[in-house]
Structure 1
Amino acid sequence: CPYPVSAGSLPDHMARSKRFPAQIAEAAMLEYTAQALNPLFTLYAKSSLREELHRAGNTAALDLLAHRLDTEPWSVYEVRRVLTPGRSDHCKLWHGLRCALCLKLAENAAVLPSEWARCKDCQTIRGHRCQRRDPLCSDSERKGTIWRSVRRVGTLTRRQACGSLERFASRPGRELEHTASGVPGYAFGFDRLVTVQRGGSFPAVERQFVAAPAAVPSKARGGFETAWRSAAGLAAAAAAAGERSAEGLLTGV
């Protein structure tokens, strides 16, 4: 891997990055865009590549990144996520594929296999998906599958994209969130507007608008809209009441 993450290899990696500032700036650009859509998407577990380059004194790479962020096209993104509940212990115990021994025991007991608890070996068998028809199969305290939709609105300059987001956030009840740069002297911060906050249990939904380089196409997992409506229900409908369409960001209407 050209981007080792272990603490022992980081100094060597930073030394190599000084020999290839353009290539490392490309990696930092990808990381910045990913982090704009999801703050957790940093190259390193406890810091970003930008911060490591700053610690290493690699101003050449940082200057290249700053130039690209100021000159390349930007956009405003609508990012929505659906977080489903995870499987409960009850579901893992009773629902799923069974080994030959458990099937034989169920047959001898004249019960359906689904009515015979799975042994520890059975619980390691993969490939079966419970339909979650039983409410006991879902655990609202466990995070399950994450569905995401990204919608890109327009192609703008950085100033225009950030200005559109600021205007969108200027309505009563909204607040623009700014994440500081983390690298002194460089405009590497992020602006986002969260219009639907994630709840503390699952299923949960969240919706936010962010300004970022126009490198990510609009995309969504198949069936996302159905999953969104199912998870959001009346709560999402109430939160979305009065929301402008994303296209309104560009027109100011």
Structure 2
Amino acid sequence: MGGRPFRQIMGFNADEPGRRLGDTTASKIPGRTGVYPLIEWGWGRQQVEDYLLRRFGVHWPKSYCTFCCFPVSMGSRPAHLERMRSHPEIAGEVLRLEYTAMSLNPNARLYGKDALLEFFDRSRPRDRVCLEAFERELDVPWALYHVRRLFLLSDSGRRRPVMRSTERVDLGSPRQLARQLTSVSERHGVAVEHDPVYGRARTWVRPRGETWPMAEELFVTAPARVVDKQDRHFERDWAALMPGSASQLPLG
């Protein structure tokens, strides 16, 4: 922009005024001023759709961003779920994505406090089609993962970004890997969580504590879609927090 002041028009509607505040506070571009005409006019989503219908003579459907994490915050989850039901194969992918993420981290829901699977009822025909697509997504090789997280403090006592380590331990079928994890866990007196519907098994070797600094460690089965990844200096910081600490399960 050559450093000159400019206005940027944003299409946030009157049903989502919080996005205006977020846009204003998050903008770091020198000279930028956000403009929000739909909010200023008081036009919500329905008024916008009505205008487009009058202007162009067709219903203008909302775009379907399958991995968008904002539908709940924008109050449009019912409409988002309807779009999923209209595209069951895509819905199956999204359900598998969330299921895999929540296997490694139960807090990793896509849309707030509730998991997507909670909104699909097999007794409803359109939901059943989505769930069948999800089950096809799970019909792939699975992996046993070793997951560790560190919740550390800086020298000033502030919370640092969470550090993570994810390592694939083995490949196989869900049942085979669940039996392996259960067998080793039982021999070492560690409980195993089972998902009786879709087959996940999970063992918390070190559950998360309540105060920082702390660590957590688990073994879990999930679709083999997750790549190995470890933050820089993770092993050094893990050893520093828990010197001489080795996993309680001989799997990794």
Taking structure 1 as the reference length, what is the TM-score of the superposition? 0.65
* Paired letter, 1:24: A
Q: Does 1:198 pair with 2:204?
A: no
Aligned residue among 167, 174, 178 for 1:151: 167
In 2, the alpha carbon distance for the partners of 1:165 and 1:193 equals 8
In 1, the alpha carbon distance for the partners of 2:122 and 2:115 equals 11
Change (3 A) 1:56 1:41: farther
* Paired letter, 2:136: H
Residue equivalent to 2:90: 23
Q: Extract structure 1 runs of 4+ deviating beyond 6 A.
A: none
SS in 1 for 2:120: helix
Residue equivalent to 1:170: 186
Aligned residue among 149, 154, 160 for 1:81: 149
- Number of positions where the alignment pairs a residue of Structure 1 with one of Structure 2: 183
In 1, the alpha carbon distance for the partners of 2:216 and 2:82 equals 40
Cα displacement (A) at 1:26: 0.4
Cα displacement (A) at 1:83: 0.7
Q: Does 1:68 pair with 2:78?
A: no
Residue ranges of structure 1 left out of the alignment (5+ in a row)? 87-131, 182-186, 247-253
Q: Does 1:52 pair with 2:58?
A: no
Measured on the aligned residues, the alpha-carbon RMSD in Å equals 2.3
Change (3 A) 1:41 1:203: same
In 2, the alpha carbon distance for the partners of 1:149 and 1:163 equals 24
Cα displacement (A) at 1:8: 3.7
Residue equivalent to 1:232: 242
Higher relative contact order (CA 8 A, sep 6+): 1
In 1, the alpha carbon distance for the partners of 2:209 and 2:186 equals 24
In 1, the alpha carbon distance for the partners of 2:116 and 2:247 equals 39
Report sequence identity in percent: 33
Cα displacement (A) at 1:173: 2.3
Residue ranges of structure 2 left out of the alignment (5+ in a row)? 1-64
Any conservation in 1 of the 2:169–2:251 contact (CA below 8 Å)? no
In 2, the alpha carbon distance for the partners of 1:231 and 1:37 equals 22
In 2, the alpha carbon distance for the partners of 1:203 and 1:80 equals 14
In 1, the alpha carbon distance for the partners of 2:186 and 2:231 equals 31
* Paired letter, 1:221: D
